[in-house]
Amino acid sequence: MDATERVSPEGSVPVDAGPEGSVPADARPAGSVPFDAPPAGAGRRGGRAVGLALACHPGPALAVTALACALALGSGLGGPRSALVTAAVLTGQLSVGWCNDAYDARRDARAGRRGKPAADGTVGAGAVWGAAAVALAACVPLSLACGVLAGTVHLAAVAAAWLYNLRLKATALSWLPYVAGFGALPAAVALSLPGGPAPRWWTVAAGALLGFAAHLADTLPDIAADRAAGIRGLPHRLGDTGTRLLLPLPLLGATAVLALGPPGPVDAGGAAALVLAGAGAFAGPALGRRWRKAALAGAVAVAAVDLALLLVRGVAAA
């Protein structure tokens, strides 16, 4: 997600920048690309196309889309209806990813961040904004086609993610869009079922806890760099140590809710899930100093355990 520069409240242009946000050449971080530099991919259609594909944050976008597809198929929606839910989630995720890269283009360029196509000139920020708008426009009818209530819930989650990109990422409420978005996913799938049954409370609670954990794990490797860029989200305020100590709690909490939430005694599957989730929840942060993405990998492992448990428990009230 994503030099001691002061930034504007919007987090886009330094408040002490010169005309049109220019930065003196000797003040730019080594390896950074001037914002007004010609696109590196100019004249290369393939380069711009690849840059646009990479700018959507394909890893997280595909992961969330795959999660929605698995929930839809596991809930018994059937092929065509599951495909509709998957398409709605995919377009929403694409819009969020492109919005994030386009909005952060200047800040990423000043920081010399690699792997950011809108910042290094591979594709223009205007083109990325355009792709985000098209994806968002497609997301609206696709979401509402799943049902008015289901579509409204999903669109509210997409709106929260856009709000994160444009405002909340640099505030103490940076966690809120993640909680809302992940909690809304099983709710939207349940409401897409025939008759629109209410989601089970433990599925929504588990999703919200996983969203909180995802925010901590995804931000953890970049806390120092983000702080230097003026970002002050919740993980940045907690610091590296505080975030590592907090991360296992929502991960274990999500699994515990799924294992203990349904009525009746805890079965063998729930007990096994708690053991596996505990291993992943603590191993990730512990290995984080040796492997930059260890905390995120641990969170993904716990999410996989939770998904299996969720598919067994079901997403909608009987």
Q: Who's near 286: CB < 8 A, 6+ residues apart?
A: 294
Three-state SS letters, 210-243: HHHHHHHHHHHHHHHHHHHCCCCCHHHHHHHHHH
Q: Residue 32: what residue type?
A: S
Q: Tell whether the model's pLDDT for residue 25 goes beyond 50.
A: no
What pLDDT does 288 receive? 65
Q: Give the per-residue pLDDT at 19.
A: 37
Scan for tokens 């059937």, then name that residue.
78
Q: Average pLDDT in the 220-228 region?
A: 86
Q: Are 131 and 193 in contact (CB under 8 A)?
A: no
- Angle formed by the axes of helices 125-144 and 79-103, nearest 10°: 150
The span from the CA of 106 to the CA of 8, in Å, is 12
- Asked whether the whole model's pTM tops 0.85, one would answer no
Distance in angstroms (rounded) separating the CA atoms of residues 92 and 96: 6
pLDDT tens-digit map of 48-74:
889 899 999 998 899 899 999 999 998
What average pLDDT does this structure show over 121-128? Answer: 90
- Give percent helix, percent strand, percent coil of the chain, each to the nearest 5: 70, 0, 30
Q: Encode pLDDT of 129-186 as tens digits.
A: 999 999 999 999 999 999 999 999 999 999 999 999 999 999 999 999 999 999 999 9
Residue 60 CB coordination number (10 Å): 17
| Distance in angstroms (rounded) separating the CA atoms of residues 293 and 298 | 9
Sign of CA dihedral 204, 207, 216, 164: negative
Asked if residue 317 has pLDDT above 60, the reply is no
- Are 1 and 169 spatial neighbours (Cβ–Cβ below 8 Å)? yes
